[in-house]
Chains A and B, each alone.
Chain A
Amino acid sequence: MKGPIYLNEKTGVVVIGATGREASQVIRESEALYPGIIKAGVTPGKGGSTELPVPIFDTLAQAVQDPKVGKSINTALIYVPPVSVLDAVMECLDGGIKVLYVITEHVPIRDSEIIFQEKVRRNAVIVGGTSLGCFVPSVGRIGAIGGKDPSIAFKAGGLVIISKSGGLTVTTAEMFKRRGWGTYCALAIGGDIISNTTYADVLKELKDDPNVKGVVMLGEPGGSYEEQAAELIQAGGFNKPVAAFISGRFQERMPEGVAFGHAGAIVERGMGKASDKIARLEAAGKKHPVKVAFYYHELLSAIESLGVPRDFEDSTTDFVKPLYSTIG
């Protein structure tokens, strides 16, 4: 099978909240670029609408029972407002969907927790909330990731990019593409407190996938998901090269703010800060192929020094000249 569980040649997507502004743009763009991945859309009250290039249903049940497209649907892409996310997730899980993406930002934490517990009970895969989606160049994409012209950032190769920030997922893919490394799978996992798919979940899922040549991990302060990845690697649960960058060190030098707060500081003593995450990953790097980049762009030299082979030619040089200069 071509592509990982998150997006592969068998993936058939139903978009929940399909006729909203962002979702309908994503459906149009994605179907123009990679036709056939999105099978249907659901918006209550808009069933039968023909404004989009896929059929629209009032309910998920109608979509999965539809004689034409029903059988091909196995993945949901959720674009509903924050307070409706829990309902949409339950509709999909009860409808038998096993892979879900929650693109919506600002999902109430309590709802995220209920979603996570249901996901565990039903053995489903949920990416997000606050995911930007997934890109697998050999197959296509789910969500807005890569925008109108994903070819700027994405070309098939051997890197797995896992990032809490959606924007940085694409920026990172482009940075590597310019220097000769392509992407096998880029996954924007979102930065929510209760994350349904963590770095460690992805590493476990892809540890035996022969397409993976190296992993680029982009982390942020808060929670302990980066630390969990470090522990997994430390315990021998993932053996391929991992280059990591953790943003947010500078926050530690600023006056104590509300953002870090108190929450988590007790159960997760010694975890959560950028420096904690860097320390854990560097500790894993003593025995395993893990490198932490000091500057974000040093991810490039980290991947190179870990011996991850280029997928194609380096198209820029080490030193980039300005496009325009008005200073000597």
Chain B
Amino acid sequence: MKLYEHEALESIYKKYKIPAPRFVFATEPNEKVREFIDKEPAVVIKSMVLVGKRGKAGAVKVVSDKSQALDVFKDLASREVYGEKAIGALVEEKLDIKKEFYLSVTYSTKDRAPAIIFSEHGGMDVEEISPELIHTHVIRDVRSVYPYQIRNFLVGINFSDPDLLRPLSELIVSVFHAFWQTEARLLEINPLVVAQVGDKKKLVAADAVVLLDDDASVSPAVRFGARGGMGRPLTQREQDAILIDQGDHRGKAGSYVELDGDVALMTFGGGGSTVTAETAIEAGLRIANLTDIGGNPPAEKMYKIARIILSKPGLKAVLVCGGTASNTRIDVTLGEGLAKALDDMKAEGKLDPNLVWVVRRSGPEYVKGLRMLHECFVRNGIRGDIYDSQLPITEAPLRLRELMVKHIGYKPEVVA
């Protein structure tokens, strides 16, 4: 989970003594903001959004003319940045910047260890820094991390400012400890600034990008509040789907992400769902949703998710697809849950008779389950083909495409 910059400043930088600019965060230009602006000779104002590259979007502004500061604040605290609505704005002291470094700590899967990444050429997008100017120090033993090791690393990369060797090495170790103890996946400071304060040079972390491990021993959603992953509010169907699994731990049927397409997916199992959705997209089908049903849900859960999936307007086809389940009962999920949803929707006049179906499924009681579903197809006039696991799982979307082209004149997308 990604933190807002002010959350990182308040809850991580303070605790681990990572030097930051003086700051105030607010959702509106309140008294604290006015006082802060009054005291500072000049300020930097930033939109608080999770999306990156704010500077390029004009969402970070240096304000020297104080008469404008509140207007800038109002604008940045409420604007949209790359489609994401700001939740407020951060006002910081303006630093007298002499140099900008790049510093981050993250996991390197190459080394299977945390790595400290440092460059003397920070400030811009790290992707734009030439690779030979970026240096990596891998933490092979997390039990002993000391500043002297970092100084050895900095000397090894010909770090240019000997005066900063000690403070920088100590700061980097603090940043590592913050990363480690807060169970982060990434802690990035770009830029890490060398600022002139009076006659002294001082290191100041002028930004904070923190990604916490969602599986951390204390869940970040508990510490900072849950935040959605799609960058948009949940749709009604998505909200309804979430309710399916609440208070009922038997199996999982409530994962549903709504997309723009016209081919509904009822897919089973993590790996199987991904590979089926992916093949459908590669085959040029415009999918209407993602889902991942599994863990042997009871018929009621399957009934509910089936009705939610089929309620999306404009559907042309349905793909019911999963591997050979080891636990999930096929008679219960398809033979009872899905079949009852279809019976009821038909009776209520809510089942589109023009939908084209392909089913591919195997697992416990699949012979019975697929036969029950076939009988349901017959009594409700549903058109489609039903396969067991003789058909490779990812051929199912291709078979559906054939049927759609042949029977309803579907024009698949041309995928590059």
Residues of A with Cβ closer than 8 Å to B?
Answer: 82-83, 106-111, 113-114, 116-117, 144, 146-148, 152-153, 163-168, 170-171, 174-175, 178, 193-195, 218, 220, 223-225, 228, 247-250, 253, 255, 257-259, 261-269, 271, 294-297, 300, 316, 320, 322-328
CB-based contact A257/B229 at 8 Å:
yes
Q: How far is the CA of A83 from the CA of B394 in the complex (A)?
A: 36
Residues of B close to A218: CB separation below 8 A: 271
* Segment at the A interface, from B16-24, B239-247, B300-308, B318-326: B318-326
B217's contact among A108, A174, A178, A267, by CB below 8 Å, is which? A108
- Taking the closest CB of chain A, its distance from the CB of B391, in whole angstroms, is 4
Q: B403 to A265, Cβ gap below 8 A?
A: no
Q: Which of B180, B186, B215 contacts A261 (CB 8 A)?
A: B186
Q: List, in ascending order, chain B residues with CB within 8 A of A106's CB.
A: 215
B282 and A295 within 8 A (CB): yes
* Contacts known (A167-B272, A323-B370); A263 close to B107, Cβ less than 8 A: yes
Q: Which residues of B contact A148 (CB under 8 A)?
A: 326, 364
Tell whether, in the assembled complex, residue A108 and residue B112 are in contact, meaning their CB atoms are under 8 Å apart: no
Q: Is the CB of A117 within 8 A of B141?
A: yes
User: Can you list 12 A-B pairs, Cβ within 8 angstroms, ordered by A?
Assistant: A108-B183, A109-B185, A147-B364, A168-B323, A171-B393, A194-B109, A194-B112, A218-B271, A225-B109, A320-B390, A324-B374, A325-B384
A171 to chain B, nearest CB (A): 4
Is the CB–CB distance between A295 and B394 below 8 Å?
Answer: yes
- How far in angstroms is the closest Cβ of chain B from A122? 14
Looking at chain A's contact residues, is the secondary structure mostly helix, strand, loop, or mixed?
Answer: loop
| B contacts with A: majority SS | mixed
Question: Mask for B173-200, Cβ within 8 A of A = 1, else 0?
Answer: 0000000100101101000000000000
Complex Cα–Cα for A114 and B114 (A): 11
The residue in B2, B131, B278 that gathers the most chain A C-beta atoms within 10 A of its C-beta is B278
Least distance between B275 CB and chain A CB atoms (Å): 5
Indicate if B378 sits at the interface (CB-CB under 8 A): yes
Q: Are B180 and A171 in touch, CB under 8 angstroms?
A: no
A95 to B115, CA, bound (A): 31
The answer to whether B386 and A144 touch across the interface, beta carbons within 8 angstroms, is no
With a cutoff of 8 Å between Cβ atoms, the chain A residues found around residue B385 in the complex are 322, 324-327
Most B CB atoms within 10 A — which of A114, A153, A250? A250
Across the A-B interface, give the 10 residue pairs with the lowest CB-CB distance, nearest first: A147-B326, A165-B271, A297-B392, A168-B271, A171-B323, A223-B109, A322-B385, A324-B374, A327-B383, A296-B394
CB of B221 within 8 Å of the partner chain:
no
Cβ–Cβ < 8 Å partners of B104 in chain A: 266
A253 smallest CB distance to B (angstroms): 8
Chain B contact-residue range equals 35 or more
Most chain A beta-carbon neighbours within 10 Å: one of B126, B213, B269, B327? B213
Check B407 against A328 for contact (C-beta < 8 Å). yes
The answer to whether B215 touches A82 (Cβ under 8 A) is yes
Q: Are A250 and B277 in contact (CB under 8 A)?
A: yes
- Give the docked Cα–Cα distance between A258 and B217 (Å): 20
- Considering only CB atoms, which chain B residue lies closest to A196 in the complex? B112
Q: Which residue of A82, A174, A253 has the most chain B CB atoms within 10 A of its CB atom?
A: A174
In the complex, which residues of chain A have a beta carbon less than 8 angstroms from the beta carbon of B326?
A: 144, 146-148, 170
Question: Taking the nearest CB of chain A, how far is it from the CB of B359, in angstroms?
Answer: 9
Q: How far is the CB of B88 from chain A (nearest CB, A)?
A: 20
| A265 contacts B142, C-beta separation under 8 Å | no
CB distance from B264 to the nearest CB of A (A): 16
Which chain A positions have C-beta within 8 A of B324? 147, 152-153, 170-171, 174
B156 CB to nearest A CB, Å: 17
Known: A106-B215, A266-B117, A268-B110. A174 touches B389 (CB 8 A): yes
In the assembly, what is the distance between CA of A184 and CA of B138, in Å? 37
Question: 10 other contacts beyond A109-B185, A223-B109, A259-B229, with CB at 8 A cut-off?
Answer: A110-B183, A117-B140, A165-B271, A167-B323, A168-B323, A193-B109, A249-B278, A250-B278, A323-B374, A326-B382
Minimum CB–CB distance for A300 against chain B, Å: 7
Distance between Cα atoms of A323 and B126 in the complex (Å): 55
Closest to A267 in B: B108
As a 0/1 sequence over residues 322 to 356 of chain B, the CB contacts with chain A under 8 angstroms (1 = contact) are 01111100000000000000000000000000001
A250 to B277, CA, bound (A): 9
Interface residues of B in 138-161 (CB under 8 A from A): 140-142
The residue that B386 contacts in the complex, of A170, A262, A325, with Cβ under 8 A, is A325
Question: In the complex, are the beta carbons of B275 and A263 less than 8 A apart?
Answer: no
B291 at the interface (CB under 8 A from A): no
Contact of B127 among A194, A265, A326, A327 (CB under 8 A): A265
Q: Tell whether, in the assembled complex, residue B52 and residue A264 are in contact, meaning their CB atoms are under 8 Å apart.
A: no
Would you call B106 an interface residue if the criterion is a C-beta within 8 Å of the partner chain's C-beta atoms? yes
A-chain residues with CB within 8 Å of residue B278 when the two chains form the complex? 247-250
Contact B183 A109 (CB under 8 A): yes
Q: How far is the CA of A204 from the CA of B182 in the complex (A)?
A: 35
Q: Which residue of A lies closest to B362 (CB)?
A: A152
Q: Indicate if B101 sits at the interface (CB-CB under 8 A).
A: no
The chain B residue with its CB closest to the CB of A166 is: B271
- Whether A262 pairs with B392 at a CB distance below 8 angstroms is no
B394 & A297 in contact (Cβ 8 Å cutoff): yes
Least CB separation from A326: chain B residue: B377
Chain A residues, CB < 8 A from B42: none
Chain B neighbourhood of A114, CB < 8 A: 142
From B362, B377, B393, contact of A297 by CB (8 A): B393
